[in-house]
Chains A and B, each alone.
Chain A
Amino acid sequence: MSVPQQQRGTGQLDAARLRQDFPALQQQIHGKALVYLDSAASAQRPAAVLDAMDHYYRHDHANVHRGVHTLSQRATERYENARQKICRYINAGSTAEIIFTRGTTEAINLVAQSLGRNSFGPGDEILITRMEHHSNIVPWQLLCQQTGATLRVAPIDHHGQLKMDELRALINEQTRLVAVGHISNALGTINPVKDIVEAAHAVNAVVLVDGAQAMPHMSVDVRALDCDFYAFSGHKMFGPTGIGVLYGREALLEQMPPWQGGGEMIREVTMEHSSFADLPAKFEAGTPAIAEAVGLGAAIDYLAEIGPETIAAYEAELLSYATARLGEIEGLEIVGDAEHKASVISFTLAGAHPHDIGTIVDNEGVAIRTGHHCAMPVMDFFNVPATARASMALYNTTADIDALVDALKKVREVLC
């Protein structure tokens, strides 16, 4: 008789046990156990990811898609295997739709430059939102300067939610592309991406979703979302830095010209002319980040084994615990209380500047982010120069939140 296996996505998450998988979390900072609450900036890696990369470099490394020798074949297999894992995890239609990039930023720039620069012009509109990360603002500003297209910005309310009526009103026959974050890094808001896709598709505009913050926290199904592009980074989802993914609808990617030229992306080169490789190689000029792709594949395995639904359910509980506990602190105000929110809490503390908060809690072993979180327009909207931000992941426990609360009480003792 076989032992019944735990079904994907239905188990209870044991964060204290999962934490043991992360070597970097097993250390002391200033003599105190590290409490890592900065995963929205960059998450830590489980040993499985480190081991996969180490094994790749020690045993399997050669350049991909090149040689007939054994190592080159192994490296190619590992690299393409990672692409397949990603394809399955986000439910893309085929591996032709999975382009490896340096990260979310490069993925967004790829779409801006390959799609936008070659087909947008004066009169065309690009719609983004007030809560975007700088990486989903600046590439579009550059594109507008290059093409004469116009950038429109959908507003947010004081809960940190999109004003959907106004967003819909901004979508019109001139709208060519809508770029929106799945989850706001500064506020934690989970945006109604499916509704936005519907509204955009009604006028034949394409939709790019910045999924950097969503991938480590929730199940992502690009076909259910029906988005045209979905961009994310390895390092925010327990994988390596220097690797990310652009998912693109195959029919669109087929029409888009290459944006960088080089090896890997060609079929034939003469001194007069080059013809280009098929997808996805067409968009992967040069030797790719092979070990990083392998590491990202291992991170996907790690997430899939726990199950994204299990992670989301656990983090929702952790978020409500953290929200309640932080509420106990005198003078603390949470910035962004959207109805649908991921495990990110931005806050201010009366009488304490975020940088002082960051230094003092670090002294207690607690790592949080302080500053503008690469979302200056969001800070401007809430009329704060900066916030402190605690962002949680699958390895955080209620004990971490308790440590943060104690450290914040210390901040008040020191400064107020």
Chain B
Amino acid sequence: MDLADLYRDVILDHNRSPRNFQRLDNATHRAQGFNPLCGDKLTVYLKMDGDTVADVAFEGSGCAISVASSSLMTEAVKGKSEKQARALFANMHDLLSGSEDQAPQSLGKLAALGGVRQYPSRVKCASLAWHALLAALDDQQEPARTE
């Protein structure tokens, strides 16, 4: 297996300097993601303006895949409608679970996360932020899990 397929440059970049990596004090929605397998915890904050994700941020600690996925997620959903954000979740789910052979073109940078498919033990690292996003949109009280 080629490690470079997992640790692509865009992932390493987002791990070293995660975007939107902060607490959002005026968040309208927030949710926690918890991976009991590794103990990783993160919080996703959303500020909704009507139907639009006006701002989004995250906090927490995790592996390179988890941090990069969170960072890429915040970039991808900022400015999108709720419906578009949910559609992205579905696309990411397909990408990470390997039900699509090729990443949809619409995923752009997010397609870099597709490398985890070859590393089954790491898929949950990539999906945690997305589950937390969904939980935040749903105003879920319990921490989101990847199961």
- A: residues with CB less than 8 A from B are 30, 352-356, 359-360, 363, 370-372, 376, 379, 385-386, 414-415
Given contacts A371-B37, A376-B39, A385-B40, A355 and B63 within 8 Å (CB-CB): yes
Which of B1-9, B23-31, B49-57, B104-112 faces chain A? B1-9
Q: Is B119 a contact partner of A359 (Cβ separation < 8 A)?
A: yes
Q: Is B37 a contact partner of A415 (Cβ separation < 8 A)?
A: no
* Residue in B40, B62, B64 with the greatest tally of chain A CB atoms within 10 Å: B64
Given contacts A355-B122, A414-B3, A414-B7, A371 and B38 within 8 Å (CB-CB): yes
A356-B65, A385-B62 known; 5 new pairs, CB 8 Å cut-off, are A353-B64, A359-B119, A360-B3, A371-B37, A385-B39
* Residue in A371, A385, A414, A415 with the greatest tally of chain B CB atoms within 10 Å: A385
Given contacts A356-B65, A385-B38, A415-B12, A363 and B1 within 8 Å (CB-CB): yes
Q: Which 5 A-B pairs have the closest CB atoms?
A: A353-B63, A355-B63, A385-B39, A356-B64, A356-B63
8 Å CB interface, B109-136 against A? 119, 121-122, 125
Given contacts A355-B122, A371-B38, A363 and B3 within 8 Å (CB-CB): yes
- B: residues with CB less than 8 A from A are 1, 3, 6-7, 12, 15, 37-41, 61-67, 119, 121-122, 125
Q: Is B1 a contact partner of A385 (Cβ separation < 8 A)?
A: no
Task: Specify which of A356, A360, A386 is in contact with B39 (CB 8 Å cutoff).
Answer: A386
For B124, give the chain A residue with the smallest CB separation: A355
Q: Which residues of B contact A371 (CB under 8 A)?
A: 37-39
Q: Is B38 a contact partner of A415 (Cβ separation < 8 A)?
A: no
For B4, give the chain A residue with the smallest CB separation: A414
Q: Is B38 a contact partner of A386 (Cβ separation < 8 A)?
A: yes
Within the complex, the shortest CB–CB distance from A216 to chain B, in Å, comes to 25
Q: Which residues of B contact A355 (CB under 8 A)?
A: 38, 63, 65, 122, 125
Q: Which residues of A contact B6 (CB under 8 A)?
A: 359
Bound: A372/B38 CA distance, A: 7
Q: Is A359 a contact partner of B39 (Cβ separation < 8 A)?
A: no
Within the complex, the shortest CB–CB distance from B37 to chain A, in Å, comes to 7
Q: Which residues of B contact A386 (CB under 8 A)?
A: 38-39
Bound: A379/B36 CA distance, A: 13
Q: Is A372 a contact partner of B3 (Cβ separation < 8 A)?
A: no
7 A-B residue contacts at CB 8 Å?
A354-B38, A356-B63, A359-B3, A372-B38, A379-B39, A386-B39, A414-B3
Bound: A359/B40 CA distance, A: 16
Task: Specify which of A363, A379, A415 is in contact with B64 (CB 8 Å cutoff).
Answer: A415
Task: Specify which of B15, B66, B119 is in contact with A415 (CB 8 Å cutoff).
Answer: B15
Bound: A105/B67 CA distance, A: 35
Bound: A316/B104 CA distance, A: 54
Bound: A66/B70 CA distance, A: 60
Q: Which residues of A contact B41 (CB under 8 A)?
A: 385
For A30, give the chain B residue with the smallest CB separation: B1
Given contacts A414-B3, A415-B15, A359 and B122 within 8 Å (CB-CB): yes
Q: Which residues of A contact B125 (CB under 8 A)?
A: 355
Within the complex, the shortest CB–CB distance from B39 to chain A, in Å, comes to 5
For B125, give the chain A residue with the smallest CB separation: A355
Bound: A414/B3 CA distance, A: 9
